[in-house]
Each structure stands twice: as structure tokens, then as C-alpha cells.
Structure 1
């Protein structure tokens, strides 16, 4: 029994009159005891680190009583006697000789492995080398004891074959694991070994973080014990459940879920043949207009393959197609190609507004697609999100009709979603006083590397109006110098790549460039962005030096706004909504409002923000003003 086997009967036997479940670990422990291994060594190998050697000594006594009692009940008189003999009752041959005299067989193997000497010659050599110990009585005792030891080993093997039990998925955790650990697992809702296996698979390698007072060492022992009994438990823990996610590449086979029905990601969905779309009521039945796609899954895959404009766009399109397909198959019990206008209207108007049953459709945010707890929703969709979903699905329907897969587009007659203004200009930006609080909260006399990175992120976002993903992707290669007017000074510009060949150019204030140079030097790089490799990120993780993800960038700004809330004043409060909801888009809105209030032209702001339509930019125009303009310039932070 390895150290990773914290069975309750092994760990705390003193509270039991007998052992309810005898395992192979028990027999391994008792076999070592009969072989003469010290109790201290047995405790180090098989005992619990939270107990002392007395617990293992008590367990050995309990095993002796349990095994001999079981042998007595089966009328195995020999085993009853042999298994109660203590170490030393059957001494080995070497224990009889002060000079550690070997047996005759061991002597023959060491001096005459090829059998050159006869039996008489070998015995004469043996007695000549060990004259004191080699007597007929010693030989007889050695033979008798060796035979007795073999009988004892055979008796223990017989008892093991008839009594040993293996853990099963339906066994309670309390019957196998240490009582204190089992109690903590039960408090978490884990009552059987099957529950424990499922919990670890769902939570991953840090599953123990969700169990009070179970640390990584205890978790490792439990996992190793489960692996030891994987055959009887009928489950081997997956690589995904045992390996930190950062150590698995995105295409690692361990991250691929098997094909199955139910609420699962589209790449793992197994659709029954009768509703896979091959016989859908909306399929175009015209032999003269062939279609290479046979099922709804194939049709969705083909459509998504044509919509790879950007990772963000691809995710949005896949998400909406996936949700509709799952709803059709699991709720409507029909193929995607059998949905009619009434189905589509109910889906957009009712289901997306409140996905029910929530336990089936709604899950926690930030769960990977390969995780068993993944769900297609994290909550009800807003009117704006439902409008977007309807637009995407309508476009998918038009494409499927054009490809001769659908006979008509069922989303064509779906009523439009009633929505308000596209941009909440009044509730998602800060006035100048509030913005000063945010700047003051991020400003330091002496910066750590992370504080400097955060202050640069705040400056860069406010002075350029970049989106969160653009801030995360920004590199020194995006920075270019251009002559300002006819003077000798050179100014910096940020050239942001867009879809296709579309780019936009934004001037970067000198104060922000000074922060960029200081941040590069703090990371051990040349201060001149033009000297750095073009793929050097402007904003990085302060420990790893890798580019921040968009989510990581969002965490930076949430932390900055939390600091600002601590410095807010009655005149310029940074309210609870800003503290809990503020994001990079708040800074983008604030940048636009302040720039427009300072007299910047709407078309200039449109180009700077990358809006496709001027009407979107005009939504930023407000009837009133926030207050005095910062430095009298648009989109420029006050310097330190």
C-alpha cells in the first residue's frame, strides 16, 4: 500500500473492533510485518503522516485479530495458527549465525554456480568455511523454518484471495478514505467514490480548492490512490483533470471531449440520425441544384469556415449557431433544418431572453469548452444581444439558402427586437473630475513594474480610445514616427491594423511616449520603440513578460477603477457602478466625450475610434458638458 492510500480502516483502526474492508494494502502491510520489517519503517511506508507509529502498531494488532478470526471461521486451522505468529517465531537461517552464515543453497550459488563440485565436495567446502555454525541441528532448523515460512506465506495468500476487497464507484468515501478527509468531502456533497471521480473530472487538477481544509498534499494522495484502483473503480482520471491547463496546448487530444448528446459544444455534439438535418422539412429538394452538405452540422461547419474574418467574429458566429442547434435538438427535438418561422420567433423572443431550465442551459463564466460544466449561456441575453443573435442567424439562413441547403430562411419573418440606444453615453463614461480621481489613483512617485504597466495602459487607452483587444495586441511595430509640420521634431503615431487592408492612424502624445520608453527600459529592453523587435508587446504580464490577453487587460482596468473608488470625493464620486462595471470601454467612451467637448471634429473621432458609420460616433455627442477640458486638448492625459 503506497503512501497515497488514505483508507479509513488503515488510518484510524483504533476506533474499530474489526476491519470492514480488507484491501491489498492491508495484506501488503501485514506481509511486511511477518517478514520482520520494523514497525517504524512500515509506518513510514504505509502510515498516515498525521498520525504517529502507534496508529500503525494498533493496526497490525487489529489485522492479526481480523485475519486469524476470518481463518477460524473458514476452519483453516493452519492459517489461524500461522498468521498469529510474531516475527522471530520463525527465524531465518541467517539469524542463527553470528557471522551471518548463508544457507547451503545460497553458498552453492555463490561459489559453484556451474555445478562443478559434487554434493559431498560442496558440503565439505561449506563446513570448512563455516565450521562453528554448520551443525546437523542448525541444518534441520533451517530447513524446518524455511518450510514453515513458506506455509505462512501461502496461508496469507489464501486469505488475501478470499477476503480482499476492491473499491467500487458506489462505495462511500467514508469506507475508504481517512475519516477527517471523508467528512470534508461529504460536506462538499461528495458521498461516494464515483462522486469524487466526477468532481475531480469537472474541477480539474485544482479540484481540492473547492473542498474546505483539503490541501495539495492530501489531494495528491487521494488522486494517486484512485489511480492505483482505477481498474476496480472502472475509471482512469483523464489527463485534462490531472494536468494544469497551461501545460496543455490548445490542440492537445486531452482537451477533446468525446462525441455525446445533450448540452455540449458543437464540436462534441452527437446528433441522432433522425434529426441530423438530412431529412429536414426545410431542405431544398431539387436534383438540379446539388448541395455538398448532407447534415446540419456539416452545413454549420461550412458556413463558419467562410466567416473567419477575425477570432472575435468567428467565436460570435459559432456561439449563435451552436446555441440554435442545441436548442433545436434538445428542446424542440427536431432538426435545425426543420425549424419554421414560429420556432425562430420563439427562440429569439422568448428563449434567448430567459434560457430555461437554467440548470441545464446557464453556467458559470470563464469555463472552458472541454469542461463538463460548460454551458452555452451565462445568463439571459439583453435586447441588444438578442438583436445581434438574430442578425447573425438571419445571415446564416441567407447563406444556407444560397448554397441550396435550405428551401427558405425561417428568420426572414421573425419580428425585430425592440432595443434602445446602441451606446449608453450617459452611464458608461466619467466626467473630468472623476477621471482625475482615476489618474490620481494610478499615479505613483516610484513605480513598480506592474504599476508602471497599469499607468501606461490607462494613458494609452485614454489618449487613443483603443478597444480592449487592440490594447492587448499593440506592439512596438504599430508605432511609427512622422514629421510634424515643417519643424524638425518628430511625432509618434499608432497604426492599428483592421479587417482586410483597413487601418487607422492615431497620434500618440509625447507624454504617453515617454511612458512607453520608460516601460520598455523597466523590462530590460531598449527605450527606443524603433529599436525593439516589431512584435514586442507594449503591455505585458509583469512576471512572464508575455502579452496580456483581452481578459487580462480587463482585469487591469477593473483594478484601476477600484483604486479610484477609494479616492473619490463627494464632488466627484466614482460610484458603485463604475467600481463594479468599469472597463476599457468606459475609457474609450470617456476619451470620445472629452475630445468632442474640446472641439474635436466628429469625423476625426470616427476615424480614431474605427467606427464604420458616423451615426455611431454621433451617439457620443451630449447636450451638456462634463466640466473643464483636460489640458485644453482632446484625449491627452495630464503628465506626472
Structure 2
């Protein structure tokens, strides 16, 4: 960028969306700091000539906001207000003694003093003007500053030239950039004219935009690095040149261009279309991660396994044959597509799969891809959906034991509780005991437990209930029986919050061990529960086969424990369905339906016993 012609630089857009960092930059400049230093710190602009342009664009954008808001003092934005440093002023007595004014009255001395230091009045006026300037910036920030989000396009938060490089490399959003940076190594290798120093500047600016606690998890792989991912050549002998462009995006053919002309999407490539689908359809970060993984696997397969002359294929070029071939591919993953080591995307040994897919994972992948094509056809990005012509049924997994559930037996639960109670009192032990007893009695999902607050519980004429924001962003009411209430009361006391009625409604049901009011994340919950259960199982007197079965028990096993326990205690299936938030009773029956089986055994026993 240092050799960019001045005309090009003037046309470069450094400011498209106003964020808190723009206002921080202007406040720092107002305090008298150098524009270049402020731009480097807050705007991610490294070169001085770029800093001046970026500063002017920020000033223009904020002034425009001020004018639209009817701020009469909009000219204060970006105004350089200088104050005279001057020397220290003497006090009044020192001034009178130094000037030989002892015989003058106090009022006369004060008047002469003010005249002698008239320049300080200008300093005071400048200071008041600066305070008005800072107050205006703070007020405008509250009105206009946007908080950058992982799903925001990079073009909104980086200058035009750099954003174009990122998009060309397949990095469309801040979340994509964060995932690439999080992968480590020379993540910037595919960006033209970006070296180590420029990359570190990008990383610093990204950290300013996205605080670490809101960044999405790392992508499983980055499509733009696809040409360097595989050590083994493709079956046709083609090398990484199979990609149609360095970014891994397809150049649209005539058929694709015709569909795009009627498209409802603002997408110029398959990769962009997939991103639009994820943004529109994924209801949670976990779902978005799953969708991205499956779609990128398909795009990589099209790039390396299909097409002619080493150019790969596009989504629009998929027909019935390609759908069938991809299904067969998922059921028998070639060895070169399986990672040999735990490597980040682009590193030696990395591949899109960690092993052969289970029957369930294969079926899930096909379902997701079919829904992608249906959505793209509805959006008129694709002219047709070949998946509707393909038999997507994969049948049932012959190895699945239908009556086996991932649940803790009564004996196993007793051993787990015995182990927990035998440990020294600690915040970790109190939290684990609450999780076990509460989830066993209420049947919440992990995400539901993590998002719950104490204010979600209330006493109704029917008894204690809690409102749950569950799967599919649906609300439901779950009953909270006595076992769960007692566990919660004990946990709140251990956290020093008092009773359910006395504790703050904003308190999370699950809290960090160091802070009673701080919630925890999914990874922390997963590792916490799995670690405790593994230790409890190893220390138990359970039979060896049951210890082996429980070796990988997680939080979700406690939800299944609720379902199996409720069935064993003859709770009606419709009650279990409503409590667990299943969309249909068929789901409940499929997982926990021992009652119909018992009736079938009894009736047939009467006839043929």
C-alpha cells in the first residue's frame, strides 16, 4: 500500500460502517495525540498517508451523522483544538509581591492579575470547547456506532483494497477471517502483497473489532487453501491446479450465470451462496458450524473429484449422477481425504475428514446438503435441485441397538453421587452435584441449561416451572420437581446467593467457579461433566462392561437418563415429550418407547405363551 498512487488512495474507502473504534480514534485525536498513531491503534492503518485519508473519511462520516441528527455543533467533529501550554501561574500573593502591588486593593490586584494572564482565558476557552467536542463524540457514538459481528462482511470494516484481497481469498466475513487467523501459521499466504508485518496489523485490527469472547469457533477447514491441502494427487493426476481460481471459488459457467441473473441472492460464487444460506437458515452458532463444515466438504469434493480438465465443478453442474457419487463417497471416504494428524487447514497432513463417517453422520450430511440445494433453488441461485430425483434414504444402521440408550442406570447414578459426595467441598463439586440432580429430574439440553437464568423459574398455582428457550428457538414450559428444586437451593447456597426467592433473577443457573454471577460456555460444561463422570465411573464398583459403556458419558447422557428414568417410573409418553421439548411424540417413542414394547410383549405372551 505504500506505493499506491495518490489518486487510487483518495478513492479507497477506509470507512464504510461506523464502529466504536472510529469514535475512539476521533477522541484520541481530540486529546491531542498524533493522527498517525491513533489510526494505527484504532483503525488498523499502518502508513501515514493512509492515516490522513482514513481520518478524513471518519470525520466526514461522523459529521454526516451529526448533521442528520440536527446537531448544530457538527463542525466540532474532527476540529483541531490547540491549547497553550504556558508556564505555571503564580498565586495572587506572589504576583502582588513580584509586581510591587502591596499598596493596591485586592480588587485592583485581581484585575491586574487577569490582564497579565489574559492568554490563559484562551486556554480555558479551548478546554471548554474540547470538552464539548468530546461530549458530542460520546453522544454520537451512542446513536450511530455499530458493534462488529462475526457475520459482518469484511468489506464493511476493512479498507476497500484490503477487503478485496480478503474476499478474493474466500474470506468473506469477520468470522471467516477470525477462523483463518485462529488456524495459525502463515494464514495470510494466499493474500497478494500481504507479508508478516501487514498480517500482524490485520490481526491487531481484528482483535479491536471482535473481542475474543464473542469470536466464533475456528472453521474446520478453509476452502481458499484447498489447492495445498492434499499430499496425494487426485486420481486423474491433476495437481492443486484443479481449482478454477486461487481462492477456491468457481468461475460461473453459462448455466450458472443464467440462474444468477434471476437469483434473489447477492452472491457471485458458490462459496458466497453457501454463506448466504448459513446466515439465513442457521439458528445457532453450533448449527452454522455444522452447515459450514458439510457445505465446504461438498465444495472441496466438487473441486477435486468432479469436472473436466482439472477445473472442478460448480453446484449448478451437479446432476443425479453427481448426487449418487457424493453419497457413495461419504459412505467410503478415500484415505487421502482423512487427516493423518491433528493439523490446521493448509498444514501438511490435513484433510477434511477425521475418519470414516458413521451411518448417522452420513445420513445427516446428505440431509443438510439436500436442504442446501432446496434453499438455493428457492432463492433462484440454482435452476434445478437434483436431490429430489435421488433416493436419499440410507436405511437404518444395522449396528444400532434400538433399546440401548446413553443413560446412567440407577446403580450408576448412585455410584456417581457417592463419588461426588466423597470429595472435599469446592465450587466445582457443588456445581457437578447440581448438574447431575437437576438435569436428571428436568431433562434439559446442554444449551438450555447454559442459557437459563434464575428469573426463568417461577412458582405457579400448578407448582414450580421454568420457561425454557429450546431447540429451534422455541419456548416451552418445563416442570421443576422437588429433586431439582432441592439441588438448586443447595447450589445457590454454595454460591453464596441465598434462596431461590432471595437470589438475583439475573443469576445464571450454572456459574463459573470463580464468580457466582458469571455464566459458563458449552466447552467448559462439556469438559467439567465428562471429567467428573469419568473419574466417578473409574472409582465405582460397577461391572466392567458397564464401566466400559459409561467411559464416554457426557452431559447429554443425563438428559437421556431423565427420559429412561421417567419411562421406568411409568410417566406418560406425552408428558415426557412436552418436558423434553420433542417436536413430535414419535421422537419420544423412538428413543424411550419401552412402554409400547412392554405392551406388545404382554399381549403376544397371552396369545402364544
TM-score, scaled relative to structure 2: 0.54
Q: CA separation of 1:240/1:434 partners in 2, compared to 1, >3 Å: closer, same or farther?
A: farther
Is contact 2:567–2:594 with CA below 8 Å preserved after alignment? no
Whole-Å Cα distance in 2 between the matches of residues 554 and 264 of structure 1?
Answer: 34
Report the equivalent of 1:11.
none
Q: Give the aligned length.
A: 382
Are 1:564 and 2:540 an aligned pair?
A: no
Q: CA separation of 1:375/1:425 partners in 2, compared to 1, >3 Å: closer, same or farther?
A: farther
Residue deviations 1:89-130, cap 9 Å, x none? xxxxxxxxxxxxxxxxxxxxxxxxxxxxxxxxxxxxxxxxxx
Q: Secondary structure at the match of 2:594?
A: coil
Report the equivalent of 1:249.
212
Q: What is the CA-CA distance between 1:582 and the residue it aligns to?
A: 0.9
Given candidates 487, 493, 498, the residue that maps to 1:521 is 493
Report the equivalent of 1:320.
294
Whole-Å Cα distance in 2 between the matches of residues 201 and 493 of structure 1?
Answer: 42
Are 1:465 and 2:436 an aligned pair?
A: no
Are 1:603 and 2:580 an aligned pair?
A: no
Which structure 2 residues correspond to residues 369-408 of structure 1 after superposition, within 5 A? 376-408=352-384
**For the aligned residues, what is the CA RMSD?**
4.3
Q: Secondary structure at the match of 1:364?
A: coil
Report the equivalent of 1:79.
none
Whole-Å Cα distance in 2 between the matches of residues 286 and 468 of structure 1?
Answer: 42
Report the equivalent of 2:98.
none
Is contact 2:447–2:522 with CA below 8 Å preserved after alignment? yes
Whole-Å Cα distance in 2 between the matches of residues 613 and 423 of structure 1?
Answer: 22
Q: What is the CA-CA distance between 1:394 and the residue it aligns to?
A: 1.0
Is contact 1:264–1:375 with CA below 8 Å preserved after alignment? no
Q: What is the CA-CA distance between 1:500 and the residue it aligns to?
A: 6.6
Whole-Å Cα distance in 2 between the matches of residues 305 and 353 of structure 1?
Answer: 30
Q: CA separation of 1:392/1:358 partners in 2, compared to 1, >3 Å: closer, same or farther?
A: closer
Higher helix proportion: 2
Q: CA separation of 1:401/1:362 partners in 2, compared to 1, >3 Å: closer, same or farther?
A: farther
Report the equivalent of 1:307.
281
Q: Secondary structure at the match of 2:212?
A: coil
Given candidates 428, 434, 453, the residue that maps to 1:475 is 453
Residue deviations 1:128-156, cap 9 Å, x none? xxxxxxxxxxxxxxxxxxxxxxxxxxxxx
Given candidates 451, 455, 458, the residue that maps to 2:433 is 455
Whole-Å Cα distance in 2 between the matches of residues 331 and 289 of structure 1?
Answer: 29
Report the equivalent of 2:506.
535
Given candidates 412, 417, 430, the residue that maps to 2:394 is 417
Given candidates 401, 418, 426, the residue that maps to 1:440 is 418
Q: CA separation of 1:492/1:573 partners in 2, compared to 1, >3 Å: closer, same or farther?
A: farther
Q: CA separation of 1:520/1:596 partners in 2, compared to 1, >3 Å: closer, same or farther?
A: same
Q: Secondary structure at the match of 2:397?
A: coil
Q: CA separation of 1:259/1:419 partners in 2, compared to 1, >3 Å: closer, same or farther?
A: closer
Whole-Å Cα distance in 1 between the matches of residues 523 and 214 of structure 2?
Answer: 21
Report the equivalent of 2:226.
262
Residue deviations 1:558-577, cap 9 Å, x none? 22322332343356964213
Q: What is the CA-CA distance between 1:458 and the residue it aligns to?
A: 0.6
Whole-Å Cα distance in 2 between the matches of residues 406 and 315 of structure 1?
Answer: 23
Is contact 1:434–1:573 with CA below 8 Å preserved after alignment? no
Whole-Å Cα distance in 1 between the matches of residues 337 and 277 of structure 2?
Answer: 29
Q: Secondary structure at the match of 1:575?
A: helix
Are 1:428 and 2:406 an aligned pair?
A: yes
Whole-Å Cα distance in 1 between the matches of residues 347 and 465 of structure 2?
Answer: 43
Is contact 2:377–2:385 with CA below 8 Å preserved after alignment? yes
Whole-Å Cα distance in 2 between the matches of residues 347 and 287 of structure 1?
Answer: 24
Residue deviations 1:442-494, cap 9 Å, x none? 2248621110111001111111111122222222122111234xxxxxx4222
Is contact 2:260–2:380 with CA below 8 Å preserved after alignment? no
TM-score, scaled relative to structure 1: 0.52
Report the equivalent of 2:256.
283
Is contact 1:557–1:584 with CA below 8 Å preserved after alignment? yes
Q: CA separation of 1:499/1:463 partners in 2, compared to 1, >3 Å: closer, same or farther?
A: closer
Which structure 2 residues correspond to residues 93-242 of structure 1 after superposition, within 5 A? 238=200
Q: Secondary structure at the match of 1:357?
A: helix
Q: What is the CA-CA distance between 1:614 and the residue it aligns to?
A: 1.0
Report the equivalent of 1:21.
none
Q: Secondary structure at the match of 1:540?
A: coil
Q: CA separation of 1:440/1:370 partners in 2, compared to 1, >3 Å: closer, same or farther?
A: farther
Of residues 527-536 and 614-623 in structure 1, the stretch that sits farther from structure 2 once superposed is 527-536
Q: CA separation of 1:432/1:411 partners in 2, compared to 1, >3 Å: closer, same or farther?
A: same
Are 1:272 and 2:245 an aligned pair?
A: yes
Whole-Å Cα distance in 2 between the matches of residues 576 and 592 of structure 1?
Answer: 22
Is contact 2:453–2:505 with CA below 8 Å preserved after alignment? yes
Q: What is the CA-CA distance between 1:339 and the residue it aligns to?
A: 2.4
Report the equivalent of 2:606.
none
Whole-Å Cα distance in 2 between the matches of residues 355 and 240 of structure 1?
Answer: 37
Whole-Å Cα distance in 2 between the matches of residues 300 and 311 of structure 1?
Answer: 15
Are 1:551 and 2:523 an aligned pair?
A: yes
Report the equivalent of 1:348.
327
Whole-Å Cα distance in 1 between the matches of residues 305 and 432 of structure 2?
Answer: 46
Whole-Å Cα distance in 1 between the matches of residues 588 and 316 of structure 2?
Answer: 39
Q: Secondary structure at the match of 1:377?
A: coil
Is contact 1:493–1:506 with CA below 8 Å preserved after alignment? yes
List gaps (5 residues or longer) in structure 1. 1-199, 205-233, 485-490, 626-640
Is contact 1:480–1:492 with CA below 8 Å preserved after alignment? yes
Q: What is the CA-CA distance between 1:528 and the residue it aligns to?
A: 2.9
Report the equivalent of 1:298.
272
Whole-Å Cα distance in 1 between the matches of residues 354 and 341 of structure 2?
Answer: 5
Q: CA separation of 1:298/1:258 partners in 2, compared to 1, >3 Å: closer, same or farther?
A: closer
Q: What is the CA-CA distance between 1:596 and the residue it aligns to?
A: 1.0
